[in-house]
């Protein structure tokens, strides 16, 4: 078994794989400062609750967009799980060619997503990740990744509404029955969700237009991705485990010398 760890701006998502099968997932907040002991004890307890014996873990891989958690988190993995974590970053084998002008600026989360999408669905593929930011990343049929679009995530937009506007309340983000809202909450929901749908469809269509990729697959993931994917035909596939699968794939490509012992 291996443990994959995706450190996002809001949550840290953990997944346990038995070969290629994702057996369990769990989360903790990434914005809370913790020591390596706190991480280690919490991870062990969460593994236990999910009926996973930590001693059976052969290795660990981490992708992080939050640098200040890495020292404590990697220390916890070494001390409490007795494995040397593989970190997604410069030098890791990916199976794709990064052709952007500044490859080192590309976030590990985006690399993980495009690796997973290309391995699972082939190319050309446009990968949408609806997280804290909404990202759109393109991989060509021959495995080149150099084009990406970044937009504010739907939660960022929602937070701006209720924090920067005195009379607007904090709301649940969901798609209302109609865009023709008649009160404040559904008005905000309509603007947020239908606005995101419109942005998504426009960007997808523009990418298809400028690339000429008539056979472009569009794959979505991320916490808010299901809401958007269910509301538009522009997205072909919603894959909730895309990022975790990408971490597993990267571990397998780089596993030599990483297993316990």
pLDDT in the model for residue 73: 97
CA–CA dist 175, 191 (Å, integer):
9
Within a domain: residue 251? no
Together in a domain, 213 and 112:
yes
> What contacts 215, CB < 8 A, 6 or more positions away?
124
Q: For the domain that residue 75 is a member of, what is the CATH number?
A: 3.30.420.40
- Tell me if 113 is assigned to some domain: yes
Cβ-contact 189, 174 below 8 angstroms? yes
Q: How many CB atoms lie within 10 A of CB 166?
A: 6
Q: pLDDT at position 102, please?
A: 77
Structural domains of the chain, count = 2
Same domain, 157 and 79: no
Digit-by-digit pLDDT tens for the chain (261 residues) are 999 999 998 899 999 999 999 999 999 998 788 999 999 999 999 999 999 999 999 999 999 999 999 999 999 999 999 999 999 988 899 999 998 877 778 889 999 999 999 999 999 999 999 988 999 999 999 999 988 999 999 989 998 988 888 788 888 899 999 999 999 999 999 999 999 999 999 999 999 999 999 899 999 999 889 999 999 999 999 999 999 999 999 999 998 655 554
Q: What does the alpha-carbon distance between residue 246 and residue 227 come to, in Å, rounded to a whole number?
A: 22
Place of tokens 């974590």: 85
Return the ∠ at Cα 102 (arms to 99 and 107), rounded to 5°: 90
Determine the pLDDT at residue 105.
80
**Co-location of 141 and 17 in the same domain:** no
Domain span including residue 110? 97-243
Closest CA to 260 of 79, 57, 92: 57
Q: What is the pLDDT of residue 258?
A: 56
Catalytic residue among 109, 113, 129, 239: 109
66 within 8 A of 48, measured Cβ to Cβ: no
Looking at the structure, do residues 18 and 121 belong to the same domain, yes or no?
A: no
Indicate whether 212 belongs to any domain.
Answer: yes
- Tell me the per-residue pLDDT of 124-172, one tens digit each, with 9 for 90 and over: 999 999 988 999 999 999 999 988 999 999 989 998 988 888 788 888 8
Phi-psi region of 53 (alpha: psi -120 to 50; beta: other; left: phi over 0): beta
Model pLDDT, residue 257: 52
Active site residue 164: no
CA–CA gap between residue 131 and residue 10 (Å, rounded): 9
Contact 5, 247 (CB under 8 A): yes
> Looking at residue 162, what is its pLDDT?
87
Q: State the pLDDT at residue 146.
A: 85
Is residue 118 located within the same domain as residue 49? no
- Please tell me whether residues 104 and 231 are part of one structural domain: yes
Those residues whose C-beta lies under 8 Å from the C-beta of residue 29, and which sit 6 or more positions away, are 10, 11, 12
In a shared domain, residues 35 and 157 = no
Q: Cα–Cα distances in Å, from 34 out to 61, 83, 111?
A: 19, 20, 26
Three-class DSSP category at 120: helix
Q: Is 184 helix (H, G, I), strand (E, B) or coil?
A: helix
Q: Quick one: CA dihedral 173, 177, 181, 184, positive or negative?
A: negative
């Amino acid at each position: 078994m291996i443990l994959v760890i995706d450190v996002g701006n809001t949550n840290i998502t953990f997944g346990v794989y038995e070969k290629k099968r994702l057996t369990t997932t769990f989360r903790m907040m990434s914005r809370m400062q913790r020591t390596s002991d706190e991480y280690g004890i919490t991870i062990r307890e969460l593994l236990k609750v999910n009926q996973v014996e930590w001693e059976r873990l052969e290795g660990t891989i981490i992708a992080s967009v939050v640098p200040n958690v890495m020292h404590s988190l990697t220390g916890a993995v070494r001390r409490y799980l007795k494995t040397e974590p593989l970190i997604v970053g410069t030098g890791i084998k990916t199976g794709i060619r990064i052709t952007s002008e500044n490859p080192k600026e590309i976030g590990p989360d985006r690399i993980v997503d495009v690796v997973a999408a290309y391995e699972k669905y082939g190319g050309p593929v446009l990968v949408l990740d609806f997280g804290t930011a909404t990202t759109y990343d393109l991989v060509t049929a021959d495995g080149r990744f150099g084009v990406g679009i970044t937009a504010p995530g739907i939660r960022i937009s929602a937070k701006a509404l209720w924090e920067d506007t005195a009379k607007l309340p904090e709301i649940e983000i969901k798609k209302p029955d109609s865009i023709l809202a008649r009160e404040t909450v559904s008005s905000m929901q309509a603007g947020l969700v239908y606005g995101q749908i419109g942005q998504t469809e426009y960007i997808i269509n523009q990418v298809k237009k400028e690339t000429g990729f008539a056979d472009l697959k569009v794959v979505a993931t991320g916490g808010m991705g299901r809401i958007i994917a269910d509301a538009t035909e522009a997205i072909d596939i919603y894959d909730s485990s895309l990022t975790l699968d990408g971490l597993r794939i990267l571990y397998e490509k780089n596993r030599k010398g990483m297993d316990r012992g």
